[in-house]
Amino acid sequence: MSGFVQRVAAGVANSPGTGRVGPGTIGISAIAVYEPPWQLENAWFGEGLPRKFVQHTGIQSRHVSEEGETTMALRAWEVLKRESNCELCDCAGVVFASPSLVPVAVARKYVDDRLARSENPRYVARQFVDRLGMAVGPVVGINWFCSGYTRALSLVQHRLLPRISLGRDQFLLVATASRISRITDYAFAPTAALFGDMATLTVLARADSRKYPIRFALLGAAAETAPVGSVPFDFHWRRDVLVPTRDGRCGRDSQRLSFSLNGMEIGDAAPRAMAGATADLLQETGVGPEEIRFVVPHQAGSGIVRFASMKLEGIGIRAEVVNGLTKDVGNVSSCSIPYALKQAWHFLEGTIACPSAGVGPPGKAAVTQGCILLRAARGQNGSRATA
């Protein structure tokens, strides 16, 4: 078994409340990952990085993108084309999730309307579709921060699918693009070092599709916000901002809209939020905790995942947990779960829980939380599993 899997403890239909795979089920057919070529090592941060940073997070380096979210997603499409037989003409809809976009209401406080509009997730989603030359039905853009992927699959299941008639040879595309480096003040090393840039694409198709056979059936997905004790996240207009340069030196941005993060608040709230969201979805779908074979959580950091594993044990889940994937990429926010699924693609089997948790709206005492339930649709050898 891979070294990034740990054991917790010893020893569908897309209709909510069933947790069964049947007619009308959709699932994940393919995932493509784009990792920007620029790798920023921990050494760049010098003495500003806490001594136990690697021990608590598992992070040793992260990617930094010099391109915007739309272009990053297009790079992921190029990867998808190399790795699969996806054709643009078969795409029936797109959900685009980006955690690095500044909420428009916040952006308008600091920049003109034109720049503020460019931060709108719907605008970025439409840019992506237009640049690909796709003529598709629903195009949705969201920013749910680290729970963006969970929210995207929930929207697909509960809003998009009832509105469209997905053909057997069609697919829905979920894009995630995280460029948190562009809203980071690197003078705050413990926060800046947490995050990496990445883009992913997930192909969702019908369970009976022969052109796009599914690897994981979607049993359920849900995401919500929940209150916490204090504000964990906000934006600030800063001047003379420290940034890294490609040659490994330090540069300066004259001004930048940057985020701040209360890591202690998130570190305390996230494990409970992941377990709570998982328990809620198990109840909604009728899946028992004893049925969960693997947990593929949001890779917020190896320490948070370990604590989340303990909370999951408390609700009866004794399963293999994917952890340790932050080493070379950092916390990649809404790209985290699809990235982890891609890394664990060949050995995941049975029923899989994918919980997430992250910051809520800026300036609010809230977090986002959610969970996705999947069931492996074929075995390790690639054969189709029986439902």
Secondary structure of 7-67 as H, E, C letters: ECCCCCCCCCCCCCCCCCCEEEEEEEEECCCEEEEHHHHHHHCCCCHHHHHCCCEEEECCC
Q: Are residues 327 and 361 in the same domain?
A: yes
Query: For residue 277, is it within any domain?
Result: yes
Task: Give the tens place of pLDDT for each residue, 262-298.
Answer: 999 999 999 999 999 999 999 999 999 999 999 999 9
Listed residues 213, 244, 266: the one ending a domain: 213
Q: How confident is the model at residue 245 (pLDDT cuts 50, 70, 90)?
A: very high
Structure confidence at residue 24 (pLDDT):
74
Decide if pLDDT at 22 tops 80: no
Query: For residue 181, is it within any domain?
Result: yes
Domain span including residue 336:
5-19+219-376
d(CA 16, CA 20): 9
Q: Are strands 171-178 and 198-206 parallel, antiparallel or unpaired?
A: antiparallel
Q: How confident is the model at residue 5 (pLDDT cuts 50, 70, 90)?
A: confident
**Angstrom distances, CA of residue 302 to CA of 294, 296, 308, 325, 365:** 16, 12, 10, 8, 24
Q: Are residues 51 and 167 in the same domain?
A: yes
Structure confidence at residue 2 (pLDDT):
46
Q: Are residues 317 and 343 in the same domain?
A: yes
Q: Are residues 234 and 201 in the same domain?
A: no
DSSP 103: P
Task: Give the tens place of pLDDT for each residue, 297-354.
Answer: 999 999 999 999 999 999 999 999 999 999 999 999 999 999 999 999 999 999 999 9
DSSP 290: G
Q: Are residues 201 and 302 in the same domain?
A: no
d(CA 93, CA 370): 22
Which residue did the predictor score with more confidence, 378 or 99?
99
Location of structure tokens 């009308």: 24
Query: For residue 341, is it within any domain?
Result: yes
Question: What mean pLDDT is reported for the chain?
Answer: 93
Task: Give the tens place of pLDDT for each residue, 72-126.
Answer: 999 999 999 999 999 999 999 999 999 999 999 999 999 999 999 999 999 999 9
CATH number at residue 165: 3.40.47.10
d(CA 64, CA 39): 6
Q: Are residues 250 and 278 in the same domain?
A: yes
Structure confidence at residue 12 (pLDDT):
36
- Tokens representing residue 85 in the block: 């037989």
Please give the share of the chain, as a percent, with pLDDT higher than 90. 90
Structure confidence at residue 61 (pLDDT):
99
Structure confidence at residue 382 (pLDDT):
44
Decide if pLDDT at 18 tops 70: no
Decide if pLDDT at 242 tops 80: yes
Listed residues 213, 229, 261: the one ending a domain: 213
d(CA 147, CA 90): 27
Q: Which residues pair with 217 in a beta bridge?
A: 27, 375
DSSP 160: I
Count how many residues are written for the chain.
387
Decide if pLDDT at 383 tops 80: no
pTM: 0.94
Q: How confident is the model at residue 3 (pLDDT cuts 50, 70, 90)?
A: low
Listed residues 167, 183, 213: the one ending a domain: 213
Q: Are residues 223 and 174 in the same domain?
A: no
- Tokens representing residue 247 in the block: 């040659």
The total domain count for the chain is 2
CA 75, 81, 87, 91 dihedral sign is negative
Location of structure tokens 């034109």: 114
Decide if pLDDT at 21 tops 80: no
